[in-house]
Amino acid sequence: MAEVVLFHHVLGLTPGVTDLADRLRAAGHSVHTPDLFEGKTFDSIEAGLEHVGDLGFGSVLDRGSAAVDGLPENVVYAGISLGVLPAQMLTQRRDGALGGIFLESCVPASEFGPWPTGVPAQVHGMDRDPSFAGEGDIDNAMALAESEPSVVVYTYPGDGHLFTDSSWSAYDAEATDLVLDRVLAFLAER
């Protein structure tokens, strides 16, 4: 079974993020859920973004790096939206990464340097999500998949952002079940 680090989104470590991690644990995987906001959660994306603005994106990345200190190298890094930043950075930069799972976000690989040869990843997002599709993340994901055959992009019909968080208004149970089926198949190969 795989060891996974799952980074939360801009609302913080919500019950929905914990639920997603628990579903992976139920399949036998070891899942770490670092709290990059030190216990703070938010009721709106805008409030969460304001908090991130106060912290700075660099601090979010530094906290993500610190969260994996002491963990073995051979892990899978996963993130939801904002959490994709540390997940993608660690997938690209930390020796021994077994793969990446990027939910509802993807930045250009050039942001963190070259993509590591042969390291697989999955990117999942809704095809009309204003954040994922509207802000270019889907284009980043498609470009990455074109240049890296080990990267696969999955899109789902809908416009919800944070649709995998069961505690958030945009939650889509059917799409989340499909995401989990694909993620579990990915993890089974690690």
Average pLDDT over residues 142-154: 97
- Residue of 65, 69, 103 lying closest to 83 (CA atoms): 103
Helix pair angle (173-188, 15-26), 10° resolution: 40
What is the overall mean pLDDT for the chain?
Answer: 97
Q: Residue 61: which domain range?
A: 3-188
- Write down the pLDDT at residue 2: 97
Domain count, the chain: 1
- Write down the pLDDT at residue 39: 97
Average pLDDT over residues 104-115: 96
Q: How far apart are CA 85 and CA 91, in angstroms?
A: 10
Average pLDDT over residues 88-104: 98
- Write down the pLDDT at residue 190: 93
Average pLDDT over residues 18-43: 98
CATH number of the domain enclosing 129: 3.40.50.1820
